[in-house]
Amino acid sequence: MKITRFEEIIAWQKAKELTLQIYKDVSVCKDFSFKNQIERASVSIMNNIAEGFERQTNKEFKNFLYIAKGSCGEVRSMLILGVELRYFRKDQAAKLEILSTEISRIISGFIKTL
C-alpha cells in the first residue's frame, strides 16, 4: 500500500497520541520552561514526519525522520528529568517512554525502507 498522506503514517499517528498525552499530563505544571520544552519536543516528532513526507524526496524525508527520531530521545530525556523533579509519576512517565521508544523504532524501520 502506497502512503499518499502523512496522516496515514503510523509513526505520525502515534506521535500525535504522544503529544496529546504530554499536553494533558503537563497542563498543570508550573515550570513553564520544562513544560514548553517537552511539549515542543513531542510536537517536533509529528511535525518533522509531516514536513519530511511533504518534501516528496526520500533523501529529505530520511533527514526529517532522523530529526524526529532525535526528538523522541529528547522527550525520553525530559521524562527522566520530569520524574526526578516530580512533574510525572513513574508509571505515567513509563507509559510515555514506551510510546516514544515505539515511535523511534517505527521511524528506524521507515528509514531503512527508504
Kindly give the confidence (pLDDT) of every residue in the chain, 114 residues in length, as a single tens digit, with 9 standing for 90 and above: 799 999 999 999 999 999 999 999 999 999 999 999 999 999 999 999 999 999 999 999 999 999 999 999 999 999 999 999 999 999 999 999 999 999 999 999 999 999
* The overall pTM is greater than 0.75: yes
Report all structural domains of the chain as residue ranges with CATH numbers, in order of start: 6-113 (1.20.1440.60)
Closest C-alpha among 20, 9, 11, 114 to residue 72: 11
* Gap between the Cα atoms of 82 and 70, Å rounded: 18
73, three cell numbers: 530521545
7, three cell numbers: 496522516
Name every residue whose Cβ is closer than 8 Å to that of residue 47 and which is 6 or more positions away in sequence.
none
